[in-house]
Structure 1
Amino acid sequence: MCGIVGAVASRNVVPILIEGLSRLEYRGYDSAGVAVLDGTIKRVRAVGRVAEMQNKANAEHLTGQVGIGHTRWATHGGVTESNAHPHVSRGDIAVVHNGIIENHDEQRTRLKLLGYVFESQTDTEVIAHLIHYYTAQGKDLLAAVKSAVAELTGAFAISVISVKTPDYMVCARLGCPLLIGLGEGENFIASDVSAVLSVTRNVIYLEDGDVAEIKREGVTIFDRDGLVATRQVHKSDVSLASMELGPYSHFMQKEIHEQPRAVTDTIEAIIDDNRFSPALFGDGAEAVFDQVDSVLILAAGTSYYAGLTAKYWLESLAEIPVNVEIASEYRYRKSVPNPKQLIVTISQSGETLDTMEALKHAKSLGQTLTLAICNVQESAIPRASKLVLYTRAGAEIGVASTKAFTTQLIALFTLAVTLAKQRALLSPVQEQTYLGELRHLPGSIQHALNLEPQIREWAKAFAHKHHALFLGRGMHYPIALEGALKLKEISYIHAEAYPAGELKHGPLALVDEDMPVVVIAPNDTLLEKVKSNMQEVRARGGELFVFADADSHFTESEGVHVIRTPRHVGILSPILHTIPVQLLAYHAALLKGTDVDKPRNLAKSVTVE
């Protein structure tokens, strides 16, 4: 969840580090720091945003040609300058770290007995002292890092510099993302490609267990067996413009409004080919799909709600049993493996640790039919999967996922229809109908975005509330869950979601005039049931805010507010109804004055358990 950047060059790298950290700030923003080599280790740290640290670095005229930087999302220890990275051991070793060291207590006890004094509460300081210990035994920095990481349990991406070796740095990864950026006479490391886009587009993604030596003239990578490894060089197609706000006030606002384009880009391959084909999922997909007798979806957060929506599509269209599990729970229970089950992992970043570990666990049980749905090319989860379908949402900076979610839904719908076709359950006429509905979807999303002025007015009724309830039925229940998550993530209003039919089994006790109730009520087969549930709310004095379709025949009245999307879009309705709940959360947060893009206690890429 933290951000890492490093550079080895023949110029002052401090501006490069600070710019990189500013682009990584969405990954963690409790504190920030940089350390450079300039005869000694010179370090600047600050609690708060990168800008606070930058002011201190400028005031101290910090310069150096080898350096590392970090933005922190606190795990071990509070948000204090002493807990901020980089951490230094005896003025010689400086380390930045993303991840969690599970055996840090054991190592801390050992190192204290060896005379090391700890200045922070973090697990990271253990790494710095452990590396120093091995350099004190006569090992060079590379060998010391290899020895140290061999003793660490957990997940980590680290970068290390030393006063004794002022012309290079060493980095290592296990379970957390880390890449190398290749320049001309200079090289870089980062936890995300966005941090190095201003200096290079040529990147190498390190694999689990890799340790690398980074010098000006080149890099050397060693695999988990200590052998020199060759890793493929990729040319990043992420644009710097996509990382800029442009005319928008927040990245979340920008990304909500980018959804027509993101959806268009994601469905482009399907529409261009005018069919749903297993080839969309990679080589060998047809053979894999022929073997599948059930589906298990593993995901976390918003991606989990995408999986819940997909369950409705997969079971109704492909007539295949589907189970959806929270990734962090799956591997800690005894399950019954099925080698014919398709394991579908969903992750925006492709680096979500809970999901990655769940995938590893499934494979360890002999479940090798794996498919990743992901937004980031060449990230860890796709690399570990047999098949992959990349969404084309583009860079998503706002912590609260928006366009990544809607494009995940597109990918999952594509999977459902493709499996239905593979299982001879899809007629050519129905296939063309679904293709037509996909073609029209971006326009329908734009129409939903045009409802923003009305939703902005609704937000005024939420901004001073402490609680809200979201209701949906069928395949719209997961969208109610997503709406509640968005509201609580960025406005800090406590929100819960329930299937509307469950209201009378407990949640109705919460309903009064201070509990706004949001209802997702498309014109589908469950509409009349939803209307009955709404009457239960009104009878208890609850105020209803209904997102309906144009032909749903709702009438506004006292305590019942209605906003209508232009038309019902059939089976793709969950995607369309996602847009209004995103906008409601965004405008409620604006009115409350919260940090929309960087909500407290949260970070974008969750690479810790």
Structure 2
Amino acid sequence: MNPTLRSITEQFPYWRGAAVPAALHGTEPHVLLGCGTSYYIAQSVAAALNVAGVPALAVPGSEWLTHPDAYTPAGTRPHVIAFSRSGESTETVQAARASQERGQRVTALTCEAGSSLTTHADTVLYMPTHPEEGIVMTSSASLMLLTGLRLAGLSYGDENIRAAEALLEHAQTAFPDVIAGRTHFVFLGAGELYGIAQEGALKLQEMSLTYTQAYHPMEYRHGPVSLVDERTVIVLLSHPGSVEAEATLVGELRSKGARVIGFGVPGDLTLDVQGTAMQRAVTVLPALQMLGECVAQAKGLDTTAPRWLTKVVTIA
């Protein structure tokens, strides 16, 4: 078992020890920052905060650093929540510092205590991650998502963690057959699950050097569906608020030649997922990480050394 696989399959004890911050309340606006995986996690958390009645917007760290006026009206002083595994991603660190200089309160979610990001934060939420995690974000992504969603009121206990473990075990054995011969992967997720769909697409792309796409489920009909054929796998993360419409979409996509991996909705591979959209977001993430590993293995690629990538993106 390579280190990537270990960091995926052995992440659950770290979940059990993750921070449980108090849920946010009130009408104060929140801007959630991140880069890459951290940005997609921030998207899911922002959606969950909005559902909980707490105004929130996810913005890439580089955008908040250089174009903050494009995302909040002039004079707005939001609470900034910065997500970064290493706490050293240049754009996120600089954006946090600039936020403080503008008089904005900053909270850091990071897996590295004492990192640069923590020196530009008023509050730090620290989550130690799997020691063998390498370039690809696995356990750390799940931990930041779990902790971030708790800010939106997520309830996620040991029963939920056991369900995520069982889902991962099932998925690991079932994925090879459904992905065989397929080269085009599309991830679909609505609401709180859209950021997770984007993260699933990113994981598979960077781990297996495979072309991927991510969309809101119903939006996929509007143009992108033209690429669907017998080489396509659709990964649909079903939202409990739109199951019927998504089940209809599955039928349409299968009729065009796609194989469908349905998380919480019937497909060529059906994976049972229960709970709220927030709970599902956490539960499915390790299985999506495993999908990237399975596709990489099918292509003979080493996920401990993905092409052109480094563990921390820093800019001189």
Q: TM-score, normalised by structure 1?
A: 0.49
2:118 aligned counterpart, secondary structure: helix
Q: Which residue of 1 aligns with 2:135?
A: 399
Aligned match for 1:487, one of 191, 199, 204: 204
Aligned match for 1:547, one of 258, 263, 270: 263
Aligned residue type for 1:456: P
Distance in 2 (CA, whole Å) between partners of 1:374 and 1:399 is 16
Distance in 1 (CA, whole Å) between partners of 2:109 and 2:132 is 15
1:364-443 residue pairs with structure 2 within 5 A?
364-367=101-104, 369-417=105-153, 435=155, 437-443=156-162
Distance in 1 (CA, whole Å) between partners of 2:43 and 2:157 is 20
Distance in 1 (CA, whole Å) between partners of 2:134 and 2:179 is 20
5+ long unaligned stretches in structure 1: 1-248, 271-275, 279-288, 418-433, 555-559
Aligned residue type for 1:385: A
Distance in 2 (CA, whole Å) between partners of 1:531 and 1:291 is 36
Q: Give 1:337 shift.
A: 5.3
Q: Give 1:498 shift.
A: 0.6
Q: Which residue of 2 aligns with 1:116?
A: none
Q: Which residue of 2 aligns with 1:500?
A: 217
Pairwise CA RMSD:
2.1
Distance in 2 (CA, whole Å) between partners of 1:342 and 1:359 is 11
1:266 aligned counterpart, secondary structure: coil
Q: Give 1:250 shift.
A: 1.6
Q: Give 1:277 shift.
A: 3.7
Structure with the bigger percentage of helix: 2
Aligned residue type for 1:498: Y
Question: How far does the alpha carbon of each residue in 1:556-593 deviate from its partner, in whole angstroms, 9 at most, with x for none?
Answer: xxxx412323x503231101111221111101101211
Q: Which residue of 2 aligns with 1:562?
A: 269
Distance in 2 (CA, whole Å) between partners of 1:479 and 1:602 is 21
Q: How many residues align?
A: 311
1:298 aligned counterpart, secondary structure: strand
Q: Which residue of 2 aligns with 1:529?
A: 245
Question: How far does the alpha carbon of each residue in 1:506-537 deviate from its partner, in whole angstroms, 9 at most, with x for none?
Answer: 10111111222222225x12111211222331
Question: How far does the alpha carbon of each residue in 1:206-253 deviate from its partner, in whole angstroms, 9 at most, with x for none?
Answer: xxxxxxxxxxxxxxxxxxxxxxxxxxxxxxxxxxxxxxxxxxx22110
Distance in 1 (CA, whole Å) between partners of 2:33 and 2:42 is 8
Distance in 2 (CA, whole Å) between partners of 1:261 and 1:459 is 29
1:95-110 residue pairs with structure 2 within 5 A?
none
Aligned residue type for 1:324: A
Question: How far does the alpha carbon of each residue in 1:46-88 deviate from its partner, in whole angstroms, 9 at most, with x for none?
Answer: xxxxxxxxxxxxxxxxxxxxxxxxxxxxxxxxxxxxxxxxxxx
Q: Which residue of 2 aligns with 1:474?
A: 191
Is the CA contact (8 Å cut-off) linking 2:203 and 2:292 kept in structure 1? yes
Q: 1:338 to 1:407 in 2, by over 3 A?
A: farther
Tell me whether 1:315 sits opposite 2:50 in the alignment.
Answer: yes
Name which structure has the greater RCO, CA cutoff 8 Å, separation 6+. 2
Distance in 1 (CA, whole Å) between partners of 2:113 and 2:141 is 17
Q: Give 1:391 shift.
A: 1.5
Q: 1:397 to 1:580 in 2, by over 3 A?
A: closer
Aligned residue type for 1:519: L
Q: Which residue of 2 aligns with 1:457?
A: 177
Structure with the bigger percentage of strand: 1
Aligned match for 1:326, one of 55, 60, 84: 60
2:232 aligned counterpart, secondary structure: coil
1:331 aligned counterpart, secondary structure: helix
Q: Give 1:456 shift.
A: 3.3
Is the CA contact (8 Å cut-off) linking 2:27 and 2:55 kept in structure 1? no
Q: Which residue of 2 aligns with 1:583?
A: 290
Distance in 2 (CA, whole Å) between partners of 1:290 and 1:545 is 36
2:50 aligned counterpart, secondary structure: helix
- Larger-Rg structure: 1
Distance in 1 (CA, whole Å) between partners of 2:26 and 2:51 is 19
Q: Which residue of 1 aligns with 2:85?
A: 348
Aligned match for 1:596, one of 296, 303, 306: 303
Q: Give 1:490 shift.
A: 1.2
Q: Which residue of 2 aligns with 1:510?
A: 227
Distance in 1 (CA, whole Å) between partners of 2:27 and 2:131 is 33
